[in-house]
Structure 1
Amino acid sequence: MTATTTEPLIREYYDAFNRGDRAGFLALLAEDVIHDVSQGEREIGRAAFARFLEHMDRCYRERIEDIVVMTTPDGRRAAAEFVVHGTYLATDPGVPPGTAPASGQRYILPAGAFFEIRDGKVARISVHYNLGDWIAQVNAGATP
């Protein structure tokens, strides 16, 4: 891997996500991918990531925009900064107490991700965002 091959891989990762191409998205991941879920637990494996995506698709509709990708010269690590444009579709049982139930609230949330690349695949991803900002937006947009 080099920086010139890693950046297109990360861009394809987000393009596949935005297209809703879950099979294409999962194909970019190493079989033993490590996923550090923002505000949550570490999950390991492509099957666990697929379950995470199913959960997310049930509760949220999201589009990733304004993506900036940074890579190390050797291409083994990368980071991306982006903005999540989302809709809260179905109440997620994993959100903190006091968060309004889902009623189609829209949110716009700055976020970032860190990647480790191995053999041309995403071997680790850690996504980070401000949970308090998301809760405030969801609560402000809730219908009574």
Structure 2
Amino acid sequence: MTGTEGLIRAYFDAFNAGDRPGMLALLAEDVAHDVNQGGREVGKDAFRAFLARMDDAYREHLTEIVVMVDGTGSRAAAEFVVEGEYLRTDAGLPAARGQRYRLPAGTFFAVAAGRITRVTTHYNLQDWIRQVGG
């Protein structure tokens, strides 16, 4: 396993453990976060706030994680399945009633100096809306 692969696996392990400080420790201070079908947020504070919003509305666990790393170790991608529960209505989305969902997703990463410098996640929002009954 390369250093980059270990870094990305540690990120997902921390996510699944609910270890938000552990996730944040793996990020560069100026991490760029491209939110699915949203804008770009920059910095650990913005990422911390994003995680808090997500944790308030969703309970998620990632399975079937496959990590791929380029030859330089500066780019990585992961494909996985999100198994989740919609806990609290998120702004602009259907009403939450504890609906469960299973959603394929992927994340692209940039890495420098042993830290994650970019996180770009993609999933099919329309599929998620269909699954939660929107």
Unaligned runs of at least 5 residues, structure 1: none
Distance 2:118 2:92 in 1: 22
Residue 26 of structure 2 aligns with an amino acid whose one-letter code is: L
Question: Deviation per CA, 1:69-92, whole angstroms, max 9, x where unpaired?
Answer: 000111000000000000000000
What is the deviation of 1:39?
Answer: 1.0
Counterpart of 1:68 in structure 2 is 66
| 3-state SS, counterpart of residue 2 of structure 2 | helix
- Alignment identity in percent? 60
| 3-state SS, counterpart of residue 31 of structure 2 | strand
Q: 2:15 aligns with which of 14, 17, 23?
A: 17
What is the deviation of 1:41?
Answer: 1.0
Residue 80 of structure 2 aligns with an amino acid whose one-letter code is: F
Distance 2:128 2:20 in 1: 24
Counterpart of 1:119 in structure 2 is 113
Instruction: Determine whether 1:103 maps to 2:101.
Output: no
What is the deviation of 1:10?
Answer: 0.4
Normalising by structure 2, report the TM-score. Answer: 0.97
Counterpart of 1:51 in structure 2 is 49
Normalising by structure 1, report the TM-score. Answer: 0.91
What is the deviation of 1:94?
Answer: 3.8
Question: Deviation per CA, 1:7-54, whole angstroms, max 9, x where unpaired?
Answer: 011000000000001111100000000000001110000000000000
Distance 1:135 1:13 in 2: 26
Residue 106 of structure 1 aligns with an amino acid whose one-letter code is: R
In the comparison of the two structures, how many residue pairs are matched?
134
Q: 2:128 aligns with which of 128, 131, 134?
A: 134
What's the RMSD between the two structures over aligned residues? 1.0
Q: Which runs of 4+ in 1 moved over 3 A?
A: none
- Structure 1 residues 105 and 8, CA, compared in 2 at 3 Å: closer, same or farther? same
